[in-house]
Structure 1
């Protein structure tokens, strides 16, 4: 049973690697995450475990939604290359999930920044 899951692991890594190399949106999210990490490390003292957990979860949520958005767009474009209003709405909703995840990440960053700087 466990061997079955272990045998699937290379497929998942291959998908992430493919997205990192070929998908501009995913690659951008990864680079932004690295930039945010350097920004936090430079301007703030070390994060508490709670802050680190929330920030990590918010960032991983952005990466997950971006991967799902990219996978959905790629699959739909390969099946239906022509324009279609319903397909447009599906792709827009998937992009909206990335926007919501990004807004949540920004909110977490703002709360951490506000608690550190205070007004």
Structure 2
């Protein structure tokens, strides 16, 4: 039973990545939720300039990787419109970069938030 669960995990992750990469509304909700969390955190527990810079850097990293991901997808779709495994892997890796940047932002906010409340 546990093996079935772990076998399904990659499919779920691909679905999340697909939604994150292709659905503007999904990304907006995630970013908006994180931004609200940061504002609330700063309101209840003021953050230092360094903490603010870490958060700003993390948001910038997401925007940069998202722009690169979108540019790569557009270029690859234009140059090679037919389905090809290498193209799929390239797009998946670019989406993975965006997901990694997002996880970094979550880590930064968690560390700062955890430190403020405990």
TM-score (norm 2): 0.70
Name 2:30's counterpart in structure 1: 32
Which runs of 5 or more structure 1 residues have no equivalent in the other structure?
A: 1-22
1:51-103 Cα shifts (integer Å, max 9, x gaps): 10001101100110011001100110111111001111111111111111111
Kindly indicate whether residue 62 of structure 2 is the aligned counterpart of residue 62 of structure 1.
yes
Q: 1:28-53 deviations in whole A, cap 9, x for unaligned?
A: 54553343222222243222101100
Counterpart Cα distance in 1 of 2:115 and 2:26: 28
Give ranges in structure 2 of 5+ residues lacking alignment: 1-20
Over the residues paired in the alignment, what is the CA RMSD in angstroms?
A: 2.0
CA offset at residue 27 of structure 1? 6.5
Q: Which has the higher contact order (CA 8 A, sep 6+)?
A: 2
Report the TM-score when normalising by structure 1. 0.70
How many Å separate the matches in 2 of 1:37 and 1:100? Answer: 18
